[in-house]
Amino acid sequence: MSKLLVANWKMNCNLNDAISLAGGVNSYIEVHKISARIVICPSFPHIATLQNKFPLTYGAQNCAFASNGAYTGEVSAEMLADIGCRYVIIGHSERRQFFNDEIHLKQKIEQANKNNLKVIFCVGESLNDYKSGKSMEVIERQLSILGDVSGLVVAYEPVWAIGTGLVPKNSEIEGVASYIKSTFEKEVEVLYGGSVNSSNIETLNKIINLDGYLVGGASLSLEHFIKIAGLYQFP
Ligand code: PGA
């Protein structure tokens, strides 16, 4: 299958910036035939506008653990599916850190599955765990809440690599990717995320068992993101 390139815009961009960024990506992929499957994950309030303007594939950065009701401030998986989202990121380390997301991950995944949203489930160890050789143990625990669902995407995002410019060795990423794949009976796509940019993508592309990338900071620059996407042009 072709590579999956997921742009995680996090809590960035006003509406105009979001329109020009998504518009730029759209124009680029209309002109250059790109084999990669590109998924744009903007902030909630921008998804519907972008969806109406540009025929890209969209994802959300989170969803509620409940289906509807008195959950002030939350956005349900059903609402996301209703406005055309196809993917949802669940368990990103920033959500685990700042919003105590660990307690509701299972329910969020259930909600996503019920509404046919493809889950991009994030796992990754902290710097301390990495240094003390506990990466696999942490990842195993994080994966343990997942059932064997079809169409699952797992993003390996070491917490210490996110937004830091640090990236694990290719052999380390390859080891984690094979571990993740061996955990599930059904086919699972494994992405790498954490300081992916237009300078290191070619090195990362040498990792044979990766199915794509979750790109944060570099996806906010049209120039950098299309440089990454441009690597997957059909000849
Ligand atoms: P980064 O973020 O590319 O800025 O490191 C990746 C992510 O958090 O998904």
Ligand 1 pocket, mutate which of 90, 162, 198, 213 (most atoms under 8 A from CB): 162
Ligand 1 centre distance from Cα of residue 163 (Å)? 5
Residue 133's φ and ψ, nearest 5 degrees, are 70, 25
For helices 170-183 and 135-143, give the axis angle rounded to 10 degrees: 30
Q: What number of other Cβ atoms are within 10 A of residue 40's Cβ?
A: 26
pTM: 0.97
| pLDDT of amino acid 186 | 92
Ligand 1 lined by 158 (C-beta under 6 Å): no
State residue 149's pLDDT score: 79
The answer, yes or no, to whether any atom of ligand 1 lies below 6 A from the CB of 196, is yes
Which amino acid residue places its CA nearest to atom 1 of ligand 1?
Answer: 216
Q: 35: which 2 tokens?
A: 């084999």
Q: Is the C-beta atom of 154 inside 6 A of ligand 1?
A: no
Given this model, what pLDDT does residue 216 score?
98
Residue 33: exposure state from Cβ atoms within 10 A (0-12, 13-18, ≥19): exposed
